[in-house]
Amino acid sequence: MFETKVELRSIEGARVIEGRLPYDEFSRPIRGKFVEKIRRGAFRQALEPGADVRAIYNHNRDRLLGRTVSDTLTLIDSPSGLRVQITPPESSQDVVESVERGDLSGMSFTFRVLEGGEEWSRGTGPDGLDVRTLTNVELIEVGPVVWPAYPASAATVAQRSYDEWLANAPEARRLEDLTDEELREEFDGIPMEMRSKLQRQAEAGSSLDLDELRARACFPSHLGEWAIEPRWFRQAVAAVSVGVATPEFRGDHAETEARSVALGDDLYATHNGVAIIRMDGPMKKAKSSLGGCSTVECRRAIRAAVADEDVDSILLWITSPGGHVAGTKELADDVRLAKGSKRVHAHIEDMGASAAYWIASQAERVSANATAFIGSIGTYSILYDQSAQFEKEGVKVHVISTGSHKGAGAPGTEVTPAVLKDAQEMVDGLNEFFLAAVERGRGFARDQLLELADGRVHLAERARSLGLIDTVQTLEDALRELSAGARTPTARNPPETE
């Protein structure tokens, strides 16, 4: 979030990687609500003799570049900021070369905010934003990174501290004090009846509870229709069922969590004019305590990148089995519209299936790493006919409803041909949106696409030969091509015949 760059210098004949974390300069806005700045003296522990701070490459602790205790990492306290000088070993000359070529554009700083090490002030930042001033932190790691960014975990820790401060501040905001934009952001994904209840609470004078809002938004985001790779989904459901995967709840440990701060925006990172938008895990409209990404936040990121004059092109970095149908079409439409203004490249890493492929297919160009699974075009639903089982157990189910289809499919009732016909129409209707998007985005003729829309996933090279993607390459190569500024011709390959 802080404007910090990395460069290569020659000091006493040695090639040294240098960066600086500025003091008393505002970060970029965090979730559009507040900014941060670091006061001189905040790193006093790291500057004491015997302090052990490590320099690592690209957040990888197996790539040690230097340590303060071995004098291969030097920290210098200057009036303008904390200067960092790293003398990497001979075995890491590839990192030096990457800095020299400009492939590494920023430096990351990982630290813990110590007890009493932060101060908050209301409306004193740019555009009237609130300000968090860091006054005492434990510096843990520094190092050059490929894509400077503000990690979601760091933003969550900062947001948690902000929420606690608001809750305890005398002027803590209530629902009715929120701007229209803040209301839309906090209420997105919450059913209308819940919104009405919250509004009534606001009118009665109840203070805003952000955690309650987000919890209520999380629950309905898991219900309804999914466009997701079936095997992944079954494994995920099984993991949740047996307790292997559990929701992440709030704790009171904001000041003890490590966080990284570097150049970038909480919506996207930038590298040589490329906005990098991460889409990781199952996609849902609202944030989930079980992980994944929000299609609403991805849409905000894309629109912000399109409007950003410093962004020349957009890279969608996708690792996802798909997700909730709700919100997918809208996100895919935003990707398609964005490429009318800027170059948009989708790179699939490891998996881009179902709804994730729906979104990727709208980019100007699609690439994937060699072992990525791609495709899963199609829509399905499952109805269980348990009527025979219930009858065997002596249970007779009566559905009292106002229409022939109201209550259809209730456990213990027969799944009639009429019910199956209605379910098929629903599946076909949803699938048509999927097919139309891929047809338009990838340039398939409908008969060609129908041959591919059988629900299978394919390894990257096979997906390329089928025309689902344009090339097989690494994420680094995809970013390098976009950074170079030249439009790479796309190749629309017709499906091969066996």
If phi > 0 it is left, if psi is from -120 to 50 it is alpha, else beta; for residue 299 that is: alpha
The distance of Cα 350 from the centroid of its chain, to the nearest Å, equals 16
Q: What's the rounded Cα separation, in Å, for the pair 43 and 27?
A: 17
- β partners of residue 78: 81
pLDDT tens figures, 279-329? 998 888 876 666 688 898 899 899 999 988 889 999 999 999 998 888 899
Name the residue ranges covered by the structural domains of the chain. 6-146, 150-166+226-376+457-498, 381-454
pLDDT of the residue at 246: 55
- Do β-strands 343-353 and 373-375 pair in parallel, antiparallel, or remain unpaired? parallel
Residues of the chain with pLDDT under 70: 1-4, 31, 147-160, 162-224, 237, 239-266, 287-291, 486-498
pLDDT of the residue at 172: 43
Torsion on CA atoms 270, 149, 138, 247, rounded to nearest 10: 170
- First-last CA distance in the chain: 51
pLDDT of the residue at 276: 93
User: Count of alpha carbons within 13 Å of 470, Cβ hemisphere only?
Assistant: 20
Instruction: At 455, give phi and psi (nearest 5°).
Output: 90, -5
Q: What's the rounded Cα separation, in Å, for the pair 315 and 269?
A: 10
Contact (CB, 8 A) for 328 and 355: yes
Contact (CB, 8 A) for 211 and 217: no
Burial class of residue 292 in the structure, from the number of CB atoms within 10 Å of its CB (0-12 exposed, 13-18 middle, 19+ buried): buried
Contact (CB, 8 A) for 99 and 85: no
Exposure string for 403-438, b = 16+ CB within 10 A, e = fewer: eeeeebbeebbeeeeebeeebeeeeeebbebbbebb
Contact (CB, 8 A) for 118 and 134: yes
Instruction: At 212, give phi and psi (nearest 5°).
Output: -65, -40
- Do β-strands 322-324 and 343-353 pair in parallel, antiparallel, or remain unpaired? unpaired
- 128 three-state secondary structure: helix
Q: Which amino acid is at 194?
A: M
Task: Give the length of the chain.
Answer: 498
- Do β-strands 283-284 and 373-375 pair in parallel, antiparallel, or remain unpaired? unpaired
pLDDT tens figures, 333-345? 999 999 989 999 9
pTM, to two decimals:
0.57
Residue the block writes with tokens 């399905």? 380
- β partners of residue 403: none
Q: What's the rounded Cα separation, in Å, for the pair 173 and 105?
A: 39
pLDDT of the residue at 154: 53
Q: Which fold has domain 150-166+226-376+457-498?
A: 2-enoyl-CoA Hydratase; Chain A, domain 1 (3.90.226)
Contact (CB, 8 A) for 315 and 478: yes
Instruction: At 300, give phi and psi (nearest 5°).
Output: -60, -40
